[in-house]
Amino acid sequence: MIPWEFLGEAQVPGGSILRLTRRKDEFSIRTEGYELMNSRAHGSEEVLAREAIQGLSRRKTSRILIGGLGMGFTLKAALDVAQENAAITVAELVPEVVTWNQDHYGHLTDHPLKDPRVSVFVGDVSTAIKKQGPWDAILLDVDNGPNGLTRNGNSRLYSKRGLLAAKQVLRPGGLFGVWSADADQIFTKRLKECGFNVEERHVKARLKNGSTHTLWFAKK
């Protein structure tokens, strides 16, 4: 078996350590022995971005916030369907993840950070939500979903207070999309309690096989 090659590590502010490894053309980011993401499993992230942004097609232009750069598959899917004059901000908490995309695996997604529609906000996505709105869509592909893994502070994004803050800066008819490794009926209920119209979807990580992930499409 081909061994994994260590490429780098990064400290999540207030959280755990991320480790980037490669095996031939496959990349993996892990924390504390748990695989957060793998370059061969990204179908559910693509569904999140594609279906959320296709719903904005009737708008003359759109401002989109993506929380979490990761390996860039969510961003790439968003760019594939967004308008030519769309403005997409990707918020990434860990600076090294941005560097990894530029130096190691950006080619897997056609180097999305080079697209002129994209701007990078290095910092907490909750800050971008509140201070850089209004938004037509907010997509959270952060940590492991509502049940955070790498950083306890991420849980506030999915709290009632965090959801109401996001709803406040969404334009009328705007969409709040969330990716999660697991289902969470409490979170579904919380979205509805905040006044969103909610669609919950269960999608395979590789579309035809692999783990099943949960997506929420919550419309204002």
What value does the mean pLDDT of the chain take?
91
- Mean pLDDT of the 177-199 span: 94
Q: For the whole model, what pTM was predicted?
A: 0.92
Q: Is 200 a domain residue?
A: yes
pLDDT of residue 145: 78
What's the pLDDT at 215?
Answer: 96
pLDDT digits (tens, 9 = 90+) for 98-117: 999 999 999 999 999 999 99
- Domain membership of residue 24 (yes or no) is no
Asked if residue 71 has pLDDT above 90, the reply is: yes
Domain that holds residue 114: 42-219
| Predicted pLDDT at 134 | 95
| Confidence band of 206 (pLDDT split at 50, 70, 90) | confident
Residue 183 clears pLDDT 70, i.e. is over it? yes
Strands 118-122 and 135-140: unpaired
User: Does residue 149 surpass a pLDDT of 60?
Assistant: no
Please report whether residue 179 resides in a domain. yes
Within 10 angstroms of residue 165's Cβ, the number of other Cβ atoms is: 17
Whether the per-residue pLDDT at 76 is higher than 80: the answer is yes
Q: How many Cβ atoms from other residues are within 10 Å of residue 220's Cβ? A: 19
The CATH number given to whatever domain includes residue 149 is 3.40.50.150
Q: Is residue 27 part of a domain?
A: no
Neighbouring-strand partners of residue 120: 90
In a domain, 110, yes or no: yes
Averaged pLDDT for residues 155-175: 93
- Between the alpha carbon of residue 133 and those of residues 26, 87, 165, the distances in Å are 36, 12, 11
* Domain-embedded: residue 21: no
**213 found inside a domain:** yes
Number of domains in the chain: 1
- Comparing C-alpha atoms, which of 146, 82, 154 is closest to residue 124? 154
CB 40 within 8 A of CB 210: no
Residue 75 lies in a domain: yes
Tokens of 23: 């095996």
